Structure 1
Amino acid sequence: MADIAFGSSDEASQTECIQALVVEFIATFLFVFVGVASCMYAEKHGGDQLLVLFVVGMAHAFVTAVMISAAHISGGHLNPAVTLGLLIGGHITVFRSMLYWIDQILASTTACYLLYFLTGQLTPVHTLAVGVGTFQGITWEIVLTFGLLFTVYATMVDPKKGSNTGIGPVLVGFVVGANIIAGGGYSAASMNPARSFGPALVSGNWTDHWIYWVGPLSGAALAGYVYETFFIDRSHVLLLRVEDN
């Protein structure tokens, strides 16, 4: 497993880092704006629950795939859990991770306040479904986020991803949509603390909110550790670098 890189405050003044933060803000803003808007419309007009989950899941899947691709400068994390999972694997420094987390939370908050201004409708929050206990909800979020990060590593990070190169964002979008359809009716399938934070702040409803930090961050950290420890071959990466020289 790669060592965690701490970085330094000097990163904040680097042009490349500033560009990455701007891109990450824009991409996370658009991701949250589209995702929350789809939930607001579904909540306002109701309908069959399975159909609602499918529509919301597909909206999140499409916008995730596009924003990851568009935000290649920053890596298109869109999610503090993704940033943590990559931090565990040594793919981003601790200092830059903190900048990304602040960036993602601010983007989510801005998107939700704009939606409230445009619609006059409070943003729907992530809460556990009736009959779903705290431990069950956390477990749902751990498993779903583990699947998300496992896919990110397998299709976008692993140097042996091979033919998956280029379609990684689409595959990540697919797993986000599938997870929402599968788990949305139980834990709300957040997988993303920033995605949960903005709506909670705007609506003033913090019910079950802590679960959407503990679950996703735990699942992401576990996925990053497992994939880096058991599946990424560091000697393979070293060999490629030697051959390139």
Structure 2
Amino acid sequence: MSVPLSRAAAAEGLGTFALVFFGPGAAVVQAQTGALGHLGVAAVFGLTVTAVIAALAPISGAHINPAATFALTLAGQFSRTRVLPYVVAQLIGASLAAFTLLALFGLKGNLGVTLPAGSLTQAFILELILTFFLLLVALRSGLPWVVGGVVALEAAMGGPITGASMNPARSFGPALASGIWTAHWLYWAAPLLGAALAVAVNHLLAPTAPVEPQPQQAQEFVPEGDPA
């Protein structure tokens, strides 16, 4: 039975709230206390994604990312009629989380806003590659700990250069609350392009027809008494 859109959208908003509250929130706490370290912040991102997928995937799929919604739609695994409500819910959830962080911490750590540390070209390519691998793994596995592990891995590697967003909603919320929109377009364009590339590569990797069993494998499944 299909989950009503209102429930699914609420789950997306809640999941994206959790992602932004705990992920960029960890960056804010690191800026204030220095207690977590870069790898600690990356781990918080990964653990949050793992928990959100485990809890909310049965309700909404736990996209919590417009790029993920875009990828699943391109792959024919998600209804086009639900795309806009999902993206709106994700942006609202991210924004509410960012404003909650603003109320708690002020502009400490710029609320974890994503900013390129190098050139725009470097940041664009890195965000594209990070998103590509994240969504390729999500399309081919989808297991909470696998996707969360990839998020932590990529946040550890790419965080110092781009913030390792891989998610337009994750970048939008802190940008809105902080008023810092530097190169914000990059955090939409690169993830969406990376999502499209992940769908294309996944299609190439996926078998186009059922794999034929080997003769000795087929023999094992012949019921006793039937002709071989």
* Matching of residue 176 in structure 1 with residue 151 in structure 2: yes
Q: Percent identity?
A: 36
* Matching of residue 60 in structure 1 with residue 45 in structure 2: yes
Structure 1 segments, 4+ long, off by >3 Å, are 233-237
Deviation at 1:46, TM superposition (A): 3.9
Match in the other structure for 2:219:
none
Match in the other structure for 1:231:
205
Match in the other structure for 1:127:
115
Instruction: Say whether the 8 Å CA contact 2:24–2:113 is kept in structure 1.
Output: no
Match in the other structure for 1:45:
33
Q: 1:143 aligns with which of 106, 117, 129?
A: 129
Match in the other structure for 1:83:
69
* Structure 1 residues 183 and 15: alpha-carbon distance in aligned structure 2, compared to 1, 3 A threshold: closer
Bigger-Rg structure (1/2): 2
Q: 1:217 aligns with which of 185, 192, 200?
A: 192
Match in the other structure for 2:16:
28
Q: How far apart in 1 are the matches of 2:206 and 2:48?
A: 28
SS across alignment from 2:196: helix
Q: How far apart in 2 are the matches of 1:24 and 1:56?
A: 22
Q: How does 1:74-113 map to 2 (within 5 A)?
A: 74-113=60-99
Q: How far apart in 1 are the matches of 2:131 and 2:56?
A: 21
Deviation at 1:15, TM superposition (A): 5.8
Q: How far apart in 2 are the matches of 1:124 and 1:63?
A: 15
Match in the other structure for 1:70:
55
* Structure 1 residues 219 and 15: alpha-carbon distance in aligned structure 2, compared to 1, 3 A threshold: closer
- Higher mean alpha-carbon deviation, 66-75 vs 116-125, is at 116-125
The one-letter code of the counterpart of 2:135 is L
The answer for unaligned runs of 5 or more in structure 2 is: 212-228
Match in the other structure for 2:222:
none
Instruction: Say whether the 8 Å CA contact 2:25–2:112 is kept in structure 1.
Output: no
Q: Kindly report the root-mean-square deviation, in angstroms, between the aligned alpha carbons of the 2 structures.
A: 1.7
Deviation at 1:234, TM superposition (A): 5.1
Tell me the TM-score normalized by structure 2: 0.86
Match in the other structure for 1:201:
176
Match in the other structure for 2:5:
17
The one-letter code of the counterpart of 1:222 is L
